[in-house]
């Protein structure tokens, strides 16, 4: 469901002239994207439930937000060499270029608003853009489409320095690591290697974690998207 919503918003903001960016157009784009990939639902009722939720999120967004803006980036893969031997890759949902030339990174979330916001993802995106563009990232935001809420934070140089230090520390630990034990969690729901995971020999499969259907939006299974 999340992929369809992301694709629809990308298609919507790509439309010109901007007068085409209406609620009805957004609904039509969502239906088109939905028809392209309808695999993984339990049954028709389950598919309808997710489709109705996606339709509500897209409709609310167009009704409440400014769709006349033209983002600098939409659903774009980005990467940068942070230091020798370390390339950081990501994919930004949306980047707006502000009037003063600075950048605002926006990440769409189709799930519920978490109790605590983890800014790591967007701080890493800001680090990438600071390396591969001439513009400064000054703001990062999570846009929660289900509720219409926005969590936004102004980015300072010390924030990116801390995030970069944490990134380098993790990279060094990975380089030194020789054993990679399984770490079961909610991400296992969409793992391509769950069937051969060593954790299943420890009775983990019986806990039901791997029973989570692959269609399930991770945002619905926890507090984050």
Segments making up each domain of the chain, as ranges: 2-64, 73-176, 186-221
Per the model's pLDDT, the better-predicted residue between 22 and 194 turns out to be 22
CATH 3.10.20.30 holds for 73-176: no
CA distance linking residue 172 with residue 169, whole number of Å: 5
Across the range 194-209, mean pLDDT stands at 63
Task: Spell out the long-range contacts of 7-13 with Cβ–Cβ below 8 A and sequence spacing 24 or more.
Answer: 7/33, 7/75, 8/33, 8/54, 8/58, 9/58, 9/61, 9/93, 9/94, 9/108, 10/74, 10/75, 10/93, 12/62, 12/67, 13/67, 13/69, 13/70, 13/71, 13/74, 13/94
Instruction: Using pLDDT thresholds of 50, 70 and 90, give the confidence band for residue 12.
Output: very high
Q: Tell me the per-residue pLDDT of 24-38, one tens digit each, with 9 for 90 and over.
A: 999 999 999 999 988
Q: Tell me the per-residue pLDDT of 111-161, one tens digit each, with 9 for 90 and over.
A: 999 999 999 999 999 999 999 999 999 999 999 999 999 999 999 999 999
């Amino acid at each position: 469901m999340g992929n369809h919503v992301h694709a629809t918003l990308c298609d919507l903001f790509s439309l010109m002239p901007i007068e085409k960016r209406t609620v009805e157009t957004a609904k039509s784009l969502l239906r088109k994207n939905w028809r392209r990939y309808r695999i993984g639902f339990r049954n028709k009722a389950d598919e309808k439930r997710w489709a109705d939720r996606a339709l509500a999120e897209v409709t609310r967004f167009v009704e409440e937000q400014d769709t006349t803006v033209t983002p600098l980036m939409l659903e774009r893969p980005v990467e940068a060499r942070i230091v020798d031997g370390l390339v950081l890759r990501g994919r930004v949902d949306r980047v707006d270029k502000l009037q003063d030339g600075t950048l605002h990174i926006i990440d769409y979330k189709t799930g519920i608003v978490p109790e605590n916001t983890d800014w790591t993802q967007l701080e890493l995106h800001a680090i990438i853009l600071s390396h591969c563009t001439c513009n400064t990232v000054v703001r990062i935001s999570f846009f929660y489409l289900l509720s219409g809420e926005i969590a936004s934070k102004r980015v300072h140089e010390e924030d990116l320095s801390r995030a970069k230090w944490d990134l380098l520390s993790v990279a060094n630990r990975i380089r030194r690591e020789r054993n990679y034990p399984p770490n079961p969690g909610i991400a296992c729901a969409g793992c391509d290697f769950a069937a051969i995971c060593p954790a299943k020999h420890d009775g983990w499969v019986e806990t039901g974690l791997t029973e989570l259907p692959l269609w399930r939006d991770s945002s619905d299974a926890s507090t984050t998207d």
